[in-house]
A and B are shown apart, each in its own frame.
Chain A
Amino acid sequence: MKFDTPATNNPIDQLKIVGKPVDRIDGPRKTTGTAPYAYERHDVAPNQAYGYVLGSGIAKGRVTAMDTAAARAAPGVVAIVTTLDMPRLEKGAMNTAWLFGGPDIQHYHQVIAVVVAETFEQARDATAMIRVSYAREPGRFDLAAEAPNAQLAAADSGEGSGAAHEERTGDFEGAFAQAPVTLDATYTTPDESHAMMEPHSSIAAWEGDKLTVWTSNQMIAWGKRDLAKTLGIPAENVRLDSPYVGGGFGGKLFLRADAVLAALGARAARRPVKLALTRPLVANNTTHRPATIQRVRIGAERDGRITAIAHESTSGDLPDGKPETAVSQTKLLYAGANRLTAMRLAVLDLPEGNAMRAPGEAPGLMVIEIAMDEMAEKLGMDPVEFRIVNDTQVDPEHPQRPFSQRQLIQCLRQGAERFGWSRRNATPGRRREGNWLVGMGVAAGFRNNLVMKSGARVRLDGSGGVTVETDMTDIGTGSYTVIAQTAAEMMGVALEKVTVRLGDSSFPVSAGSGGQWGGNSSTAGVYAACVKLREAVAQRLGFNSAEAEFTDGQVRAGNRSAPLGQAAGADGLVAEDHIEYGDLGERFQQSTFAGHFVEVAVDVATGETRVRRMLAVCAAGRILNPKSARSQVIGAMTMGVGAALMEELAVDKRHGFFVNHDLAGYEVPVHADIPHQEVIFLDEVDPISSPMKAKGVGELGLCGVGAAIANAMYNATGVRLRDYPMTLDKMIDRLPEVA
């Protein structure tokens, strides 16, 4: 099905099941521990051996020798594959860093060996016996030091944000010079780790030249293609299966070393091999959100109208890498006739920087939304009003392109009302409760809505049951549930009548889970397949498909009705289709919006910041399931707390690695950090987006949160911080005297 004109009325609009806050259908399996994650799939292949990978102990240089004699002789060892055993493997289309092979070391913890043994403990013990000799080379590990050498670079995050290397509208410099009120400030965001609960893990088994990998991956089709390319085998010989994913946040969008080394280990051991990356390797072997240095300049008239806005970002990556697209949202968020964005990329020898939840927009909004707060203060305006004054209903760089829907003003107004924004004291540092300085902050949330081609197969059986198969993944988001809701609504059956099977590369290729496109696009693919199935059903039962109504397990037209299952026949009835998109995305700017409101308390003596309450008001198209959508948003808000207050991969600038490479050192929020969270979804249907009239929502919940917290901290203390994470050491010298 091609979607190239705005959606009209369709069966989804009945909203009998879609749009209802139903529980996640995978919930009982997850809470009882019966949903097996990749490493737990003991039954999929017999005689599994355990793999353990060794990461490089240097960040740049060469492996000159590896002595594996002791390891090979260790108890239980079945096979060892080292990086010196083979030339460098081909790189997958989505990979920047090499995953394995050859003596050259590109970054710390690059995998240099896999040891396969009868038990996990034996594999780990033997791995520690490998003696490695290196020839170290100096590397570039310090973004601030390399920033002067950074080159202009365009990029697309592949996840909905992107920008040209430099983009100009009007005359930024002229307008900025003339503006009566201006801001020119530089901010930084640190490297961050996905830190998902389930580390990257895979079980690999060969049958002749056919390879099956049970893994944990967000994008099955990409993974299959890139694994085949990396191993140099035909893609049709590879099957990936990933029905449950214990969190990804972008860290599992791409093929990683776990799948490659499990496959190589299994080939060497001649039996199935399972392995997981250790925590340190999640930080230093896989990808991370790269650090940025961002400069923002804003010029405005005294009435608050922005006349000039510039956002420039510098980040680093390995050679052939790409910049963090942190300026992307600034192209679209606020009006202003004179505009400039630019991205610069420095070459660094740190692990690969790549997508992490809301790449581009998350760190970009952390910065631009502080700048807006600073500017509002200079103008003497309320920060909510300042944003409203600068709202735009069209793409400011291409005014002929309207937004398909844009309710940012409504988000901010409703949020302000609900949060009690009027009680905020505009003068910072004035509200004191005991030892706490209390403040409120606001930020706009913005995240582009991406639509992706997505396919599905639906099968009707004689009892009226419907089975959906698609290689879509559920990374904890609720895909199983919204897909089941879609099929149930379309086929007029109860939710319990729908079975959803996900994550297998033998199923039709879906949008996958990334860039908050998964929910809308994958359900639209299921919609397309169901439209086909409805037609086939109507034909079998002798109904005119345009007139047939599907309700309560029956098909009706006029005064005739028949049980749905009757159409299935003995063999069942199968339909397959995909949704693909025309040029609506070019004609209209599709984005999602939020107003984020936060209240924090800062200990006046120690500078410890504790969030007290948070509110997100979101406008993100039709909400397919308010319960799972809310879970997505509160999870994202929690990530925003981490980004604002604690998350940072600390770089050892001498040796080139992330030092705090475990969950003791890399702090993310714990329960005690997360207070009252409230989420409101505005009523919105977006017929431009898809037949589901839905949009992405998961990543929106993060976009802007960090800045809202930073702004609340400023309102509480009067200390303006511009470097994340905003830990107490950065303000302790500027807090009031302790009595």
Chain B
Amino acid sequence: MKPFTYERARSPAEAAAAAARQPGAKFIAGGTNLLDLMKLQIEAPAHLIDVNGLALDKIEPMPEGGLRIGALVRNTDLAADQRVRRDYGVLSRALLAGASGQLRNKATTAGNLLQRTRCPYFYDTAQPCNKRQPGSGCSAIGGVTRQHAVIGSSEACIATHPSDMAIAMRALDAVVETVKADGATRRIPIAEFHRLPGETPHIETSLEAGEFITAVTLSPPLGGRQFYRKVRDRASYAFALVSVAAVMQRDGTGRVALGGVAHKPWRVEAAEAELPRGAKPAMAAILDGARPTDDNAFKVTLAERTLASVLAEARG
């Protein structure tokens, strides 16, 4: 761990201003991802801005019927919230499928969105990695890639985004609210929040330097039956091989987002028209253009079968 300086932010705008002032500054929320990465010197911020004292830990109803989730709401609290459980079951289920009870007690809504990949080569600092060290090369390509992306990847990076929560939020079309150093706020639809790796896998979101997340908002409830099906090698405490977040209506229409397959939560709205025709055509459209490796080609079949299972449950 590199030595760093530390401050406690007093308001979101101040946090953003402080981050813009100090080169190499980072916000710290639950710390469950950032601290691990600092110990390995994968992240080496010169300055930490602790945002835990900010009063962003509330879940509030929105005038038009949705929910506004403060950036610091802990994963445990979000999953347990009555309104979330009733109206956004996919989100509650996704949260509970992630990490462990202890981690969820610390992990925050904003931190979860910004957690970094679990590519094992990213974690081994003796290995080249474009995400960790831009331009150094990608060790995963040609190596052990069972966990890696099957779609939307590039020659520079084939990592996946590991969040469960974000997959559900993508299905719900959540919006990320931020404040910038100059005090300006913006609302970023989650579809535009995470990026594909392209040539710059180290740039993972559309946030600008110092931009601070204040909340995530959900539109009014969609109704329907909501599913989060996470497939993994052990029963708990493992990242998804593939996950399916689905909101299904009685008439067979619905929304589907996939985890474990891409550098960002993967949703193809146009493909959802195929849902009433079944998992095969729907998944063929969702994963159209997939370029899996030998190690992870199974994910394409697995995604289709998992969706089929979810659709069967939705019908039943």
| Chain A contact residues, CB within 8 Å of chain B | 55, 57-58, 75, 121, 124-125, 128, 280, 435, 603-608, 610, 645-646, 650-652, 654-655, 659-662, 664-665, 667, 669-673, 725, 727-729, 732-733, 735, 738-739
Given contacts A121-B1, A738-B305, contact A659 B237 (CB under 8 A): no
Q: Which residues of A contact B227 (CB under 8 A)?
A: none
Whether A280 lies near B237 (C-beta < 8 A) is no
Q: Does B143 contact A (CB under 8 A)?
A: yes
Whether A605 lies near B146 (C-beta < 8 A) is no
Assembled-state Cα–Cα distance A608/B236 (Å): 12
Main secondary structure of the interface of B (DSSP, over half): loop
Q: Which residues of B contact A727 (CB under 8 A)?
A: 233
Q: Which residues of A contact B143 (CB under 8 A)?
A: 652, 654-655, 659
Q: Does B65 contact A (CB under 8 A)?
A: no
The 8 A CB mask of B200-241 against A (1 = contact, 0 = none) is: 000000000000000000000000000000011111111101
| Contact residue among A608, A645, A655, A735 (Cβ-Cβ distance under 8 Å from B231) | A608
| Contact residue among B120, B234, B298 (Cβ-Cβ distance under 8 Å from A659) | B120
Instruction: Indicate the member of B120, B301, B308 with the most A CB atoms within 10 Å.
Output: B120
The 6 A-B pairs with the shortest beta carbon distances in the complex, nearest first, are A57-B126, A605-B309, A672-B235, A729-B298, A672-B236, A738-B308
Whether B41 lies near A128 (C-beta < 8 A) is yes
Q: Does B312 contact A (CB under 8 A)?
A: yes
Assembled-state Cα–Cα distance A646/B121 (Å): 20
Whether B234 lies near A124 (C-beta < 8 A) is no
Selected A-B contacts with CB under 8 Å, 7 pairs: A128-B41, A604-B309, A652-B143, A659-B121, A662-B123, A670-B235, A672-B236
Smallest beta-carbon distance B93→chain A, Å: 16
Assembled-state Cα–Cα distance A121/B39 (Å): 9
Whether A124 lies near B1 (C-beta < 8 A) is yes
| Contact residue among B123, B234, B298 (Cβ-Cβ distance under 8 Å from A667) | B234
Q: Does B63 contact A (CB under 8 A)?
A: no
Q: Which residues of A contact B235 (CB under 8 A)?
A: 610, 670, 672-673
Q: Does B114 contact A (CB under 8 A)?
A: no
Assembled-state Cα–Cα distance A607/B301 (Å): 11
Interface residues of B in 72-123 (CB under 8 A from A): 118, 120-121, 123
Q: Which residues of B contact A728 (CB under 8 A)?
A: 231, 233, 241, 298, 302
Q: Does B3 contact A (CB under 8 A)?
A: yes
Assembled-state Cα–Cα distance A128/B236 (Å): 34
Whether A733 lies near B312 (C-beta < 8 A) is no
Given contacts A652-B144, A660-B120, contact A738 B312 (CB under 8 A): yes
Given contacts A280-B124, A659-B120, contact A606 B41 (CB under 8 A): no
| Contact residue among A645, A659, A729, A738 (Cβ-Cβ distance under 8 Å from B309) | A738
Whether A608 lies near B232 (C-beta < 8 A) is yes
Whether B305 lies near A732 (C-beta < 8 A) is yes
Assembled-state Cα–Cα distance A609/B41 (Å): 37
Whether B238 lies near A667 (C-beta < 8 A) is yes
Q: Does B127 contact A (CB under 8 A)?
A: yes
Q: Does B2 contact A (CB under 8 A)?
A: yes
Assembled-state Cα–Cα distance A665/B144 (Å): 12
Smallest beta-carbon distance A701→chain B, Å: 20
Interface residues of B in 116-162 (CB under 8 A from A): 118, 120-121, 123-127, 139, 142-144, 146
The 8 A CB mask of B288-299 against A (1 = contact, 0 = none) is: 000000000010
Report the nearest B residue to A725, measured CB to CB. Answer: B233
Whether B237 lies near A670 (C-beta < 8 A) is yes
Assembled-state Cα–Cα distance A725/B139 (Å): 24
* Sample of 18 more A-B contacts, CB < 8 Å, known A659-B124, A672-B237: A75-B3, A606-B305, A607-B302, A646-B233, A650-B146, A655-B139, A659-B120, A659-B121, A660-B144, A670-B235, A671-B236, A672-B236, A727-B233, A728-B231, A728-B298, A728-B302, A729-B146, A732-B305
Assembled-state Cα–Cα distance A604/B220 (Å): 35
Q: Does B52 contact A (CB under 8 A)?
A: no
Report the nearest A residue to B44, measured CB to CB. Answer: A128
Q: Which residues of B contact A725 (CB under 8 A)?
A: 233
| Chain B contact residues, CB within 8 Å of chain A | 1-3, 39, 41, 118, 120-121, 123-127, 139, 142-144, 146, 231-239, 241, 279, 298, 301-302, 305-306, 308-309, 312
Whether B234 lies near A645 (C-beta < 8 A) is yes
Assembled-state Cα–Cα distance A671/B232 (Å): 15
Report the nearest B residue to A609, measured CB to CB. Answer: B233
Q: Which residues of A contact B236 (CB under 8 A)?
A: 670-673
Assembled-state Cα–Cα distance A604/B231 (Å): 12
Q: Which residues of B contact A669 (CB under 8 A)?
A: 234
Q: Which residues of A contact B309 (CB under 8 A)?
A: 435, 603-606, 738
Whether A670 lies near B234 (C-beta < 8 A) is yes
Report the nearest B residue to A665, measured CB to CB. Answer: B120
Whether A661 lies near B234 (C-beta < 8 A) is no
Whether A605 lies near B305 (C-beta < 8 A) is yes
Whether B234 lies near A673 (C-beta < 8 A) is yes
Whether A606 lies near B312 (C-beta < 8 A) is no
Report the nearest B residue to A606, measured CB to CB. Answer: B231
Whether B2 lies near A125 (C-beta < 8 A) is yes
Assembled-state Cα–Cα distance A728/B121 (Å): 23
Assembled-state Cα–Cα distance A610/B305 (Å): 18
Assembled-state Cα–Cα distance A462/B117 (Å): 65
Whether A606 lies near B120 (C-beta < 8 A) is no
Q: Which residues of A contact B126 (CB under 8 A)?
A: 55, 57-58
Smallest beta-carbon distance B298→chain A, Å: 4
Smallest beta-carbon distance A710→chain B, Å: 15
Smallest beta-carbon distance B239→chain A, Å: 8
Q: Which residues of A contact B123 (CB under 8 A)?
A: 662, 665
Report the nearest A residue to B121, measured CB to CB. Answer: A659
Assembled-state Cα–Cα distance A733/B39 (Å): 41
Q: Which residues of B contact A604 (CB under 8 A)?
A: 309
Assembled-state Cα–Cα distance A652/B308 (Å): 34
Report the nearest B residue to A651, measured CB to CB. Answer: B144
Given contacts A655-B127, A655-B143, A732-B298, contact A739 B312 (CB under 8 A): yes
Whether A605 lies near B308 (C-beta < 8 A) is yes
Q: Which residues of A contact B306 (CB under 8 A)?
A: 605-606
Assembled-state Cα–Cα distance A660/B147 (Å): 11
Assembled-state Cα–Cα distance A667/B235 (Å): 11
Smallest beta-carbon distance B31→chain A, Å: 15
Q: Which residues of B contact A660 (CB under 8 A)?
A: 120, 144
Whether B1 lies near A732 (C-beta < 8 A) is no
Q: Which residues of B contact A55 (CB under 8 A)?
A: 126
Q: Which residues of B contact A738 (CB under 8 A)?
A: 279, 305, 308-309, 312
Q: Which residues of B contact A733 (CB under 8 A)?
A: 298, 301
Whether A124 lies near B39 (C-beta < 8 A) is yes
Q: Which residues of A contact B142 (CB under 8 A)?
A: 654
Whether A661 lies near B308 (C-beta < 8 A) is no
Assembled-state Cα–Cα distance A186/B121 (Å): 32
Assembled-state Cα–Cα distance A671/B237 (Å): 10
Whether A732 lies near B234 (C-beta < 8 A) is no
Q: Which residues of A contact B120 (CB under 8 A)?
A: 650, 659-661, 665
